[in-house]
A and B are shown apart, each in its own frame.
Chain A
Amino acid sequence: MLFQIAWRNIWRNKARSLVVISSIIIGVWAGIFILSFSWGMYKNNIDESVYRQLSHIQIHHPTFGEENDSKFTITNTDEKVKKFQSDDRIASVSSRVISTGMITSPTTASGVKIYGINPSSEVTQIRLNEYVREGAYFDSGKENEILVGEKLAKKLKVKFKSKVVLTFTNIESEIIAAAFRIGGVYRSKNISLDEVNVYVQQEHLQELLELKPSESNEVAILVKDEEQLDSIKKFSVGVVPKGKIEDWKELSPELNMIIESFNLYTYIISGIILLALTFGIINTMLMSVLERIRELGMLMAIGLNKRKIFIMIMLETFYLTLIGTPIGLLTGWLTVTVLGKTGINLSMFSEGLASYGFSSIIYPALDQEKYEIIVTMCLITAILSAIYPAYKALQLNPSEAIRKI
């Protein structure tokens, strides 16, 4: 009986019910959108670092990380790289020779990290070629070509085709100075790295360092599916038994900080949103109860006891929530699916970003578990916020309530 009364009650005053239903729809939708959006934002940061800088896995000689000296190499790299390439779980592999030293232009000097790369393999690895702003990506055919960051070029006051000198020590600890010509200027999104990383042809750097052509300092691997990261790590141990194998989480503790902060602030932000939702619902329900004082008083007078009135109001809220939640879920899911494909370009919303020439496209995404959490949280919030108005209704005195307008 009560179920029916409650059901009819909510349709008696359609406008009021629609307000509450819409509040719930918006609550669910907003919850989904905000979480998926922040997840997309944070994912964007991680992907930027993983795909354009770190790669999923890096392998070094065990002491290379501490000493930063080019003489600690992985031997027979070509063979190993081939082994990795033949595994179809791996998207891309490249090897690098790394040295630290100083770059000198006619005006000034600066400390740099010199990467000896295979230009063709980095096209699929960190896609360095996409960042080249001036000049070209290793196409002159000359072995002494160097790619420098825009920020470094500005600091050194050099341009495309300028000459620079790199000074560093070879594996015999002798100081080597070699002249290079700038073949291209690049700009990545991480400007502070642009100032220190310079790229040259691997073979040329190997010669200068007196390394054997098959030796390199770093092997970087991009996997196709991140879930297979651990199994590929194990596989790598078989290929490079003596190497130190690290995944991106170990390589960059900063990313860890981003993840942790993300979690914390997402909870706080969702809390604030839910709070706002709660007040919306409490107010509307309260109004609706108080508006119906006369009617509720009448019900009491004809014998509906207080417990039943309470249940009736709770049932009404429950129905309203039940209608609102699926719609909210659906719109939320649709928004995420559509925006997940098209992306949201942040620089559209900020002049500051546009003036930096920064374009960051965010793809909202959310896993199923989060959908469930949001729905449960909104359900609980909606039901909880009905308690106060229902409790208010309990305190009515039937005879007084009827007399009120």
Chain B
Amino acid sequence: MMLLKLAWLNIWRNKRRTIITATSVFFAVLLAIIFRSLTDGVYDNMIHNVVSYSSGYIQIHQKGYWDEQSIDNTFEEDQQLYQELLKNPKVTHIMPRLQTFALASYSDKTKGVLVLGIDPVKEKEVNNLHDKIINGEYIESVNDNAVVLGEGLASQLKLKVNDTLVLLGQGYHASSAAAKFRVKGLIKLGALELNNNVVYMPLKQAQYMHGAENRLTSVSVMLNKATNLEKLKHSLQESIDSDTYEIMSWKEMMPEMDQFIEADSTGHNIIIGILYFIISFGLFGTLMMMIFERKHELGILIAIGMKKRLLAFVLLLESIMISLLGCVVGIIGGMLFVKWFTIHPIQLTGELKEVYEDYGIESIIYFSSQEKIFIIQTLIVLILSILLALYPSYKVMKLKPVEAINS
């Protein structure tokens, strides 16, 4: 207790030195947080945009659907399931869908297409589908008797707005599904695969065409960008009937994207490792200077009978206190920084903006605000600084009092 008090008094005896060291720690924490938050933010933004067009963060299917994606593995629309899902505060939107594969024909052209039966209103809240229309109009409600086509698909079929598209596919329980629809609009999507293949159809029409009234292939769940996916998946899993439904995250449904991100973020881990290295060196420099400056003082303390071991301990305590101080201020600074740029995001400009928008990705630099970043980065810096603080203690153990006093 005495030592604790001694350390506390010591660090405030020379405010200037304490502030310099604490500032080092502060910047270390701040920079580490900004770095991680930036790199993770880029992925979060990318994932968010990709999943909002495709699977959603989490999808719920009839059990067995994923292994055999046939219309026979659909489930009855269930309001209770919706309520159960929306009850979770992290869930922002749910999108019921009926997704099938069919042949689309116009005049003498035929092509295999992806038919997405959607709820147009819910869908546009999530991914602003209506903004991507380049010709004609967006479908208004689940009952609208018209479809919207990917622009690439339309040009392959040589078809324009208000032409009639014939669809032929497999219906529920081996019935055949055939129907014709007026093309209400053409949509330009960033993902080439979708742009060249997709037919958006109001959900009710899709169900009617396939003879699958009230049935869905999936319910996509959208979350806040910074949600812990695995945890949420588990909590959702418990709230729904696991005998009838299977629940999958985008990582399971799109392993190639997860793999790409994993590879890229491994690269970033190496870079952040170097950042830690530079940070530790800056900190080390400061600590080394401190021990120089105080050689005289420490020599006297030992001369008047302070045990070296205890003195080393006091120095360690001082370092820990200073590091803690720096970490606390750093974490607050990091939070403010991230918060500020979440509210006022940096807009990309120039060519990059166009490329991003072509892909349907918001052209902003987004900073991730997952708590885990703050905690992990602060802990890493704290541990680094405590490890480094062992150096002054080590120096003290080797200090020769007589030389130190004379220096």
Contacts and interface: CB of A to CB of B under 8 A. Distances in A.
B259 A265 contact: no
B181 interface: no
Interface of A is mostly: helix
A290 B289 CA distance: 10
Interface stretch (B24-32, B172-180, B371-379): B24-32
Contact of B288 (A19, A192, A269, A352): A19
Given A190-B256, A287-B293, A277 B267 contact: no
Contact of B278 (A27, A66, A100, A192): A27
B31 A275 contact: yes
B270 A283 contact: no
B352 A272 contact: no
B78 to A, nearest CB: 26
Given A20-B285, A290-B16, A353-B266, A276 B352 contact: no
B17 to A, nearest CB: 8
A131 to B, nearest CB: 15
A352 B286 CA distance: 38
Given A192-B256, A260-B355, A287-B290, A173 B108 contact: yes
A228 interface: no
A279 B281 contact: no
Name, among B21, B278, B293, the residue most crowded by chain A CB atoms within 10 Å (CB to CB): B278
B407 to A, nearest CB: 11
Nearest to A288: B289
Nearest to A192: B256
A226 interface: no
B289 A287 contact: yes
A403 B156 CA distance: 87
B112 to A, nearest CB: 4
A217 interface: no
A18 to B, nearest CB: 9
B162 interface: no
A23 B285 contact: yes
Contacts of B351: 260
B89 interface: no
Interface in B287-341: 288-290, 292-293, 296
A286 B20 contact: yes
A26 B281 contact: yes
A107 interface: yes
B282 A253 contact: no
A191 B267 contact: no
Interface string B354-373: 01101100000000000000
B262 A353 contact: yes
Contacts of B271: 34, 37-38, 269
A41 B155 CA distance: 36
Interface string B257-271: 011001110110111
Interface in B139-188: 155-156
Contacts of B286: 283-284, 287
A362 interface: yes
A26 B273 CA distance: 13
A109 B101 contact: yes
Contact of A283 (B31, B282, B293, B352): B282
Interface in A88-136: 100, 102, 107-111
Contact of B34 (A16, A264, A272): A272
B376 to A, nearest CB: 16
Nearest to A349: B266
B110 interface: yes
A27 B352 CA distance: 29
Contacts of B269: 349-350
B263 A279 contact: no
Interface in A268-305: 268-269, 272-273, 275-277, 279-281, 283-284, 286-288, 290-291
Contacts of A273: 274-275, 278
Interface in B115-148: none
Contacts of A26: 277-278, 281
Interface string B214-232: 0000000000000000000
A287 B267 CA distance: 35
Interface in A1-34: 13, 15-16, 19-20, 22-23, 26-27, 30, 33-34
Contacts of B28: 276
Contact of B270 (A37, A100, A290, A358): A37
Given A284-B289, A288-B289, A356-B262, A257 B359 contact: yes
Contacts of A323: none
Contacts of B355: 253, 256-257, 260
A19 B352 contact: no
B285 A280 contact: yes
B264 A41 contact: yes
A116 to B, nearest CB: 19
B112 A352 contact: no
B256 A191 contact: yes
A82 B28 CA distance: 61
A260 B352 contact: yes
B245 interface: no
Interface of B: 16-17, 20-21, 23-24, 27-28, 31, 34-35, 38-39, 42, 68-70, 101, 108, 110-112, 155-156, 193, 197, 255-256, 258-259, 262-264, 266-267, 269-271, 274-275, 277-279, 281-286, 288-290, 292-293, 296, 348, 351-352, 355-356, 358-359
Given A26-B278, A269-B271, A288-B289, 8 more contacts: A16-B288, A26-B277, A33-B274, A37-B270, A38-B271, A41-B267, A276-B279, A284-B286
12 contacts: A13-B292, A22-B281, A23-B281, A26-B278, A34-B271, A100-B111, A110-B101, A169-B110, A280-B24, A280-B283, A346-B266, A350-B266
